Copies of this chain bind each other. A is one copy, B any other.
Amino acid sequence: MPTIVVDVMPKAELLDPQGKAVAGALDRMGVEGFSAVRIGKRFELTVADASEETLAVARKLADEVLSNSVIEDVVGIEVVE
């Protein structure tokens, strides 16, 4: 069955404490070349068919259910498989 992948990230202007914690950990581990880390969510929605209609529903759900538009942005919606 096809899968619709929805990517949600914290808005750029917001602090991302989880990401900051990971960036700090990399720093303490001595890993170089990684200047920032941000952590968001990846939703995999298994759908019966990947029609244009289903995709439209998925777009609506991504904006209204899967993300909180006050603090998050939907950065990608794509069909895989």
* B22-A35 in contact (CB<8A): no
Contact, CB under 8 Å: A9 / B46: no
- Output the nearest chain B residue to A36 by Cβ-Cβ distance: B46
Cα-based distance from A71 to B30 in the complex (angstroms) = 26
* A1-B35, A33-B49, A49-B33 known; A9+B61 contact, CB < 8 A: no
Give which listed residue, B1, B25, B40, B49, contacts A41 with CB less than 8 A.
Answer: B40
User: When A25-B65, A66-B22 are in contact, do A44 and B48 touch as well, CB less than 8 Å?
Assistant: no
Interface check A45, CB cutoff 8 A:
yes
Can you list 10 pairs linking A and B with CB atoms under 8 Å apart?
A9-B44, A31-B57, A33-B47, A33-B49, A34-B58, A35-B46, A36-B46, A38-B44, A41-B42, A42-B42
